[in-house]
């Protein structure tokens, strides 16, 4: 079946390619990615066969958190270009048949945002401070934070201002949280959504979607939590003072009315680190369209674990009449080629912080597994989010010199957590050149490792068996299997996952150590790596098969 991309429902079974704006392509040569650079490289995404791109923030920002600290929601940062560049990018994308989803960051602003500057210049209790979460401190002279809340980037979630009050920030001190009990905040975000929708964007990815509403009833409740849990780990318990509160859904019901008022309706995807049973609440029919599936992303390389996550994800999504999303990597986590190269049980962040060598990653196994994971993921019913560079099999750059690190986590944790720079190293496009085709400048904002060009698009283009050609072929075949979202597990041998998607696609993944003979009657459409000489499926290999005339095994 050929997919009809003109329908309002295009997003249900699509492939969305995440462009991490600072690191995709740099047209002006300053070493930082920009919109003109992206526009010039969209052909790669179209050729890959994706349906849409998601652009991470490109708004004016002092870059305390690489753009997730927004100083102006309705403009473009000069380091990334201009509004006209954005218009041109949008037109180019649409011309290539690609939808464009942009990031909206409603939980916090930059400390340079005019509202926060106004709040700092205004007295306690003022209307300007009420747009944020300012409170008096505890202790005899208010010298202690108002509650024990911890920042996700390390340290307390409160910073004191000269007049003695404290303001709240779930992330860096330069990212003060907004107060979503304040009407100005609602009105301003509606304005922002409409601004970009009127320009023609196809949807939004909503940053920290589960954090907007806070329980600010005095006295504030302590959480007794640590500061180094992974970014999207669900909160403990269902009644947390700032994570995943029921009131947050009022925001999304209001936003859904806005996105539905456009023709065709625009789409939204939540970044919400919540428990599996609370995640579907975000995608009820009158709320957001999709939510990222961090359970799938965090799943270790293990057949039982994957099976359980797939079952839960399908059941939870279907309960609210939608399909799950699937994702293996993004700009906040270690790239999956490297995650899968490490033995089970290794704490990825601790490993990285300790230098990324002990234990030595089994890169060959990581690559084999990443290729299999691609086939597994792309065969599942629902939407796949791909992170730029995964189609090249890029690994985590684990040995960035300390002086190159930019993630606020590194400093805020007192060098206890190395942060996310290693998955954000700019894309290699060409085999050679000062930044491997990333841009005309001498160097990229994060140093690219020697040999990066060997993994570039140019090096993999047309090379049979390369990551890039595997992804291209998988996306092409996937398109043919769209439309029928039925899903059935097939009887599996030890260490195997096997399922049928729709009527025409069987996926088998061998997580075990021994090769598995392929059932007679199934025709191989695509394999993540070579089969054994007698046609069996080797360890860490996946295959797509067309069911035989008499049905699958
Ligand atoms: C999630 C984003 O993906 C991450 O990069 C950012 O640091 C935090 N939200 C804070 O905005």
Q: Which atom of ligand 1 is nearest to the CA of 65?
A: 7
Q: Which atom of ligand 1 is nearest to the CA of 153?
A: 7
Looking at residue 316, its pLDDT comes to: 96
Looking at residue 552, its pLDDT comes to: 38
The finding on whether 207 has its CB within 6 A of some atom of ligand 1 is yes
3-state class of 252 per DSSP?
helix
d(CA 298, CA 545): 27
CA distances to 264, 419, 422 from 408, in Å: 39, 8, 13
Please choose, from the candidates 15, 10, 194, 168, the residue with its C-alpha nearest in 3D space to the C-alpha of residue 104: 194
The finding on whether 208 has its CB within 6 A of some atom of ligand 1 is yes
CA of 534 from ligand 1 middle (Å) equals: 48
- In this prediction the pTM is 0.97
CA of 79 from ligand 1 middle (Å) equals: 19
Please tell me the residue having the least CA distance from ligand 1 atom 5: 332
Q: Which atom of ligand 1 is nearest to the CA of 208?
A: 9
Please choose, from the candidates 424, 410, 444, 417, the residue with its C-alpha nearest in 3D space to the C-alpha of residue 64: 410
Most ligand 1 atoms within 8 A of CB, residue of 19, 231, 269 to mutate:
231
CA of 279 from ligand 1 middle (Å) equals: 18
Q: Which atom of ligand 1 is nearest to the CA of 271?
A: 1
Looking at residue 152, its pLDDT comes to: 92
Looking at residue 504, its pLDDT comes to: 86
Looking at residue 6, its pLDDT comes to: 54
Looking at residue 228, its pLDDT comes to: 61
Beta-bridged to residue 167, according to DSSP, are: 134, 159
CA of 92 from ligand 1 middle (Å) equals: 27
CA angle (189 as vertex; 254, 282 as ends), nearest 5: 40
CA of 65 from ligand 1 middle (Å) equals: 8
d(CA 478, CA 471): 10
Contacts of residue 463, defined as CB under 8 A and 6 or more positions apart, other chains included, come to 469
The finding on whether 177 has its CB within 6 A of some atom of ligand 1 is no
Please tell me the residue having the least CA distance from ligand 1 atom 11: 68
The finding on whether 537 has its CB within 6 A of some atom of ligand 1 is no
CA of 475 from ligand 1 middle (Å) equals: 28
d(CA 184, CA 177): 14
CA of 415 from ligand 1 middle (Å) equals: 19
Instruction: Find out whether 155 and 227 touch, Cβ atoms under 8 Å.
Output: yes
Q: Which atom of ligand 1 is nearest to the CA of 408?
A: 7
CA of 59 from ligand 1 middle (Å) equals: 14
Looking at residue 286, its pLDDT comes to: 97
pLDDT tens digits, the chain, 553 residues: what are they? 334 445 778 999 999 999 999 999 999 999 999 999 999 999 999 999 999 999 999 999 999 999 999 999 999 999 999 999 999 999 999 999 999 999 999 999 999 999 999 999 999 999 999 999 999 999 999 999 999 999 999 999 999 999 999 999 999 999 999 999 999 999 999 999 999 999 999 999 999 999 999 999 999 999 988 766 778 888 877 789 999 999 999 999 999 999 999 999 999 999 999 999 999 999 999 999 999 999 999 999 999 999 999 999 999 999 999 999 999 999 999 999 999 999 999 999 999 999 999 999 999 999 999 999 999 999 999 999 999 999 999 999 999 999 999 999 999 899 989 999 999 999 999 999 989 999 999 899 999 999 999 999 999 999 999 999 999 999 999 998 888 899 999 998 889 999 999 988 999 999 999 999 999 988 999 999 999 999 999 999 999 999 875 443 3
Please tell me the residue having the least CA distance from ligand 1 atom 6: 68
The finding on whether 332 has its CB within 6 A of some atom of ligand 1 is yes
């Amino acid at each position: 079946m050929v997919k009809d991309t003109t329908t309002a429902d295009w997003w249900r079974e699509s492939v969305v390619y995440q462009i991490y704006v600072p690191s995709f392509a740099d047209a002006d040569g300053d070493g930082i990615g920009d919109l003109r650079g992206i526009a010039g490289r969209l052909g790669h995404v179209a050729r890959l066969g994706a349906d849409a791109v998601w652009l991470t923030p490109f708004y004016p920002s002092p870059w305390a958190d690489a753009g997730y600290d927004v100083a102006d929601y309705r403009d473009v940062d000069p380091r990334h270009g201009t509004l006209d560049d954005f218009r041109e990018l949008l037109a180019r994308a649409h011309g290539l048949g690609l939808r464009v989803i942009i990031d909206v960051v409603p939980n916090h602003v930059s400390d340079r945002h005019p509202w926060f500057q106004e709040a700092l210049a205004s007295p306690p209790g003022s209307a300007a401070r009420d747009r944020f979460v300012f409170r008096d401190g505890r202790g005899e002279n208010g010298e202690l934070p108002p509650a024990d809340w911890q920042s996700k980037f390390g340290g307390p979630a409160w910073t004191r201002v000269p007049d003695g009050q404290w303001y709240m920030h779930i992330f860096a001190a330069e990212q003060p949280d907004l107060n979503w009990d304040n009407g100005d905040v609602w009105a301003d975000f509606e304005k922002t959504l409409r601004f970009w929708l009127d320009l023609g964007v196809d949807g939004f990815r909503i940053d920290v979607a589960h954090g907007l509403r806070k329980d600010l009833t005095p006295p504030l409740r302590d959480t007794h939590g640590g500061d180094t849990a992974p970014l999207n780990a669900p909160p403990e318990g269902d009644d947390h003072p700032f994570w995943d509160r029921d009131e947050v859904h009022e925001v999304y019901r209001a936003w859904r009315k806005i996105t539905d008022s456009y023709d065709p309706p625009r789409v939204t995807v939540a970044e919400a680190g919540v428990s599996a049973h609370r995640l579907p609440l975000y995608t009820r029919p009158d709320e957001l369209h999709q939510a990222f599936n961090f359970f799938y992303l965090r799943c270790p390389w293990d057949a039982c674990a994957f099976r359980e996550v797939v079952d839960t994800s399908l059941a939870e999504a279907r309960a609210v009449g939608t399909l799950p999303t699937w994702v293996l990597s993004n700009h906040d986590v270690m790239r999956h080629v490297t995650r899968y190269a490490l033995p089970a049980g290794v704490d990825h962040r601790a490993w990285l912080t300790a230098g990324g060598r002990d234990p030595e990653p089994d890169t060959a196994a990581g690559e084999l597994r990443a290729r299999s994971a691609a086939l597994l993921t792309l065969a599942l019913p629902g939407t796949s989010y791909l992170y730029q560079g995964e189609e090249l099999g890029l690994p985590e750059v684990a040995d960035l010199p300390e002086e190159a690190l930019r993630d606020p986590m590194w400093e805020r944790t007192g060098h206890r957590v190395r942060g996310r720079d290693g998955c954000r190293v700019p894309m290699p496009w060409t085999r050679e050149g000062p930044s491997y085709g990333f841009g005309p400048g001498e160097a990229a904002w994060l140093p690219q490792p020697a040999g990066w060009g060997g993994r570039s698009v140019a090096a993999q283009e047309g090379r049979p068996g390369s990551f890039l050609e595997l992804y291209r072929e998988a996306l092409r075949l996937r398109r043919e299997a769209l439309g029928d979202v039925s899903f059935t597990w097939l009887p599996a041998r030890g260490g195997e996952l096997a399922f049928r998607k729709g009527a025409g696609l069987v996926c088998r993944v061998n997580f075990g150590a021994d090769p598995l003979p392929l059932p007679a009657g199934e025709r191989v459409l695509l394999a993540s790596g070579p089969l054994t000489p007698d046609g069996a499926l080797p360890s860490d290999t996946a295959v797509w098969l067309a069911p035989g005339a008499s049905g699958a095994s």
